[in-house]
Amino acid sequence: MTGKTNGQILFAAGLALANTVYGWQVLQMPRPFASGEPGPAFLPALLCLALYGMLARVLISEFRARVEARRADTSDAADAAADTGLPGLLPVLGPLFAIGATALFVIGFVWLGYVISAALYCFAIAFYFNLEDSGRWGRSALMALAVGVGVTGFGWLFFDRLFGLSLPLWGL
């Protein structure tokens, strides 16, 4: 395993540990749908289960990866970055970009409302990570657009329709 693979496995293991602690706290809450409504434990329980599934996928794929496949992927990614003109620091800047985009989302939520801030945030995050993965600008923009619209729409339906929690739709 390469250093990148080891780091991903350690990060996934750390997330699994934190998720287990979080899940233990969720188990202390009243069961979802015990009173006929989702209740306060519904979303945390759903998030815990989803995170366990995603962590399992990451760990399985990382343990299956071979050193030769990693070397081929690295050289392919380097070739794609060279072909598209992507800077070599793009993978390093990911966490900083995500933190900055999240801060702008929080600020934008107050001034622009849910729809605009959530759509822009989801688009930006999806575009960045799709671009980092594929190196293709057009495909990344289309995928990011689909993710932005889908997540924003699902979020509004989830909070407004399921829980009756009104979100500030438009701030303009």
Q: Of the given ranges (34-38, 149-153, 159-163), which has the lowest mean pLDDT?
A: 34-38
Kind and range of the H or E run holding 102: helix 94-112
Q: What is the pLDDT of residue 54?
A: 82
Cβ neighbourhood burial of 164 (10 Å; 0-12, 13-18, 19+) = exposed
Which pair of structure tokens corresponds to residue 91? 């993978």
What percentage of the chain's residues is helix, strand, coil (to nearest 5)? 75, 0, 25
The Cα–Cα gap between 85 and 83 comes to 6
**Exposed, middle or buried: residue 75 (CB in 10 Å: 0-12, 13-18, 19+)?**
exposed
* Token pair for 11: 């990060």
DSSP 158: I
Range of weakest confidence among 16-20, 35-39, 106-110, 147-151: 35-39
Q: For 56-96, what is each residue's pLDDT tens digit? A: 877 777 777 755 565 666 665 555 544 545 556 666 677 77
Q: What is the pLDDT of residue 150?
A: 94
As a whole number of angstroms, the distance between CA 12 and CA 91 comes to 18
Contacts of 147 (CB under 8 A, 6+ apart): 122, 123, 126
